Structure 1
Amino acid sequence: MAIRIFIDQGHNPSGPNAGAEANGLREQDVNFNVGTYLAELLRTDPRFEVRVSRNTPTESLGTSNATSLAARVELANSWPADYFISIHSNANVNPAINGSEVYVYSEGSTAYYFGESILNAIVDIVGMKNNGLRVNPSLYVLRRTTMPAVLVELGYLTNAADAERLANDQVAFAYAIYMGILNYFGYEPIS
């Protein structure tokens, strides 16, 4: 039986729940592209089934921040997915802050080790700084999903070096997340 992975490309293209912007990049576009590339990788692997929250770059979910988040969780819960991955790009007022981090609901959980495997692969493959695994039970998509859920912050749009990677290495980020998933399950890549 294939493992069901739900990929949430964080944020809407515009309006309510739009993402951060910096260095000529919009978070929602980076998230959409990385999530779509990841879905394509998973679709070529018969060990997985995949669904995404946004099927087109212009698709919006919900009419407010709250309903947008609720719609993403509902899509995953009603399928039901086995694992939930929300993809984001970070921002900070300090342009020196950089790196990748993964948020989970609780320490020592299935999601914790799943997230750790994804983060390690992003650091190893893309060469991002490792900001660690962070526990944040207040995040809606981690709190309301009924399966292990992780929120991946790929890098900082507000940091010039990260922004360059977020612009140019989207396929590499997707491949790294895919490899992190394979490593977690102890799978070899399909040759």
Structure 2
Amino acid sequence: MAIRIFIDQGHNPIGYHNSGAEGNGLYESDITYMVGRYLADLLEKDPRFEVRTSRNTASEILGTDNISSLNERVTEANNWPANYFISIHVNANDNPNINGTEVYVSSLYSESYWLGDDVLREIVRRLGTNNNGVIIRPSLYVLRNTNMPAILVELAYITNSSDAWKLANQQYAFAYAIYIGVLNYFGLKPL
């Protein structure tokens, strides 16, 4: 039976509620949409997986405010029901020198933690971002309210010029790294 993975492309398009971070001329929702689309394409070509995405077009808007936007993503994953939930984001900081990749999970040494660790290692290995670790953050809505192991991947910092270049120009590479991280977690080889 195929493993069901729900990909949440974090945030709504710019100009709407819950639109995410901006930096270096880039918008978080544009990046998360494309990385999620590439990841979905990779998983759809692999018969070991079934996949759904939270945003099916770049212009799709979920919810009418921040909470309802987050709730729509979680509800769709729970109702499917997905086996795993991967939320894709990019980070931002007032200090433009802060950079790197991190993954948020709800608890230490859980299925989410080990999946997050495999995904993080593969992004760092393939993209050359700094490894900021797997961080326990049970307060995050999508981690707290999903009924399946869930990870929130912060690909890199949109406010750091080096990271922003990667976010703009290596979106497929980020998606492929997540895909390989997922395969590593399950002990699978690429087809």
2:140 aligned partner: 139
CA distance in 2, matches of 1:54, 1:61: 8
**CA-to-aligned-CA distance 1:17-54 (integer Å, 9 cap, x gap):** 00111101000000000000000000000000000000
TM-score calculated relative to the size of structure 2? 0.99
2:110 aligned partner: 109
Q: Please state how far the C-alpha of 1:185 moved relative to its aligned partner.
A: 0.3
| Structure-to-structure mapping, 1:1-191, within 5 angstroms | 1-14=1-14, 15-190=16-191
CA distance in 1, matches of 2:79, 2:101: 30
Q: Secondary structure at the match of 2:183?
A: helix
Q: Secondary structure at the match of 1:123?
A: helix
CA distance in 2, matches of 1:128, 1:48: 27
Q: Please state how far the C-alpha of 1:138 moved relative to its aligned partner.
A: 0.4
**CA-to-aligned-CA distance 1:81-111 (integer Å, 9 cap, x gap):** 0000000000000000000000000001110
Paired residues, number: 190
Q: Secondary structure at the match of 2:156?
A: strand
Q: Secondary structure at the match of 1:19?
A: coil
Letter in 1 for 2:43: L
Deviates more, 1:90-99 or 1:119-128: 119-128
Q: Please state how far the C-alpha of 1:127 moved relative to its aligned partner.
A: 1.1
**Large movers: runs of 4+ above 6 Å:** none
CA distance in 2, matches of 1:127, 1:46: 30
Q: Secondary structure at the match of 1:60?
A: coil
Letter in 2 for 1:62: G
CA distance in 2, matches of 1:168, 1:115: 23
Structure 1 unaligned runs (5+)? none
Q: Please state how far the C-alpha of 1:160 moved relative to its aligned partner.
A: 0.2
Structure 2 unaligned runs (5+)? none
CA distance in 1, matches of 2:152, 2:132: 13
Letter in 1 for 2:51: V
CA distance in 1, matches of 2:40, 2:127: 18
Q: Secondary structure at the match of 1:120?
A: helix
CA distance in 2, matches of 1:21, 1:188: 36
Q: Please state how far the C-alpha of 1:125 moved relative to its aligned partner.
A: 1.0
Q: Please state how far the C-alpha of 1:65 moved relative to its aligned partner.
A: 0.2
CA distance in 2, matches of 1:127, 1:37: 19
Letter in 2 for 1:3: I
Q: Please state how far the C-alpha of 1:126 moved relative to its aligned partner.
A: 1.1
